[in-house]
């Protein structure tokens, strides 16, 4: 029984360390590892790190070009969306 208790604390520590190195919350990783044990460690390993603004550290969407909170430029390019009525040939339709 004591080995199981030690294993759960080691899982909490490992998940916290993994989440912290990926840029997430160590406390959330520790809770994940402590509640779910080895499964929590696997979840911490397989999840993507959260996107945060380098200026204000608030969470941002993965495709954002600017931070919604502080309007800082995030260094990403927006994918161009075609406007309605335009075509790939520069707005002229081929017949």
- Could you read off the pLDDT of 21-72 as tens digits, one per residue? 887 788 999 999 999 999 999 999 998 877 888 888 888 887 888 888 898 8
Q: Given this model, what pLDDT does residue 46 score?
A: 92
Domain count, the chain: 1
Q: Is residue 52 part of a domain?
A: no
Q: Is residue 26 part of a domain?
A: yes
H or E, element range at 2: helix 2-21
Which range is least confidently modeled, 9-13, 37-41, 47-51, 83-87?
83-87
Whether the predicted pLDDT of 1 surpasses 70: yes
Q: Is residue 21 part of a domain?
A: yes
The range of the structural domain enclosing residue 8 comes to: 2-46
Q: What single string gives the DSSP state of each residue in 10-52?
A: HHHHHHHHHHHHTTS-HHHHHHHHHHHTHHHHHHHHHSPPPPB
74, two tokens: 């995030």
Confidence of residue 80 (pLDDT cuts 50, 70, 90): low
């Amino acid at each position: 029984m004591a080995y199981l208790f030690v294993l759960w604390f080691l899982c909490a520590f490992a998940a916290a360390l993994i989440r912290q190195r990926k840029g997430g919350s160590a406390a959330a990783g520790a809770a994940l590892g402590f509640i779910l044990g080895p499964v929590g460690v696997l979840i911490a390993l397989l999840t993507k790190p959260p996107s945060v603004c380098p200026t204000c550290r608030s969470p941002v969407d993965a495709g954002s070009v600017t931070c919604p909170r502080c309007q800082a430029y995030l260094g990403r390019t927006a994918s161009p969306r075609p406007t309605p009525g335009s075509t790939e040939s520069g707005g002229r339709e081929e017949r």
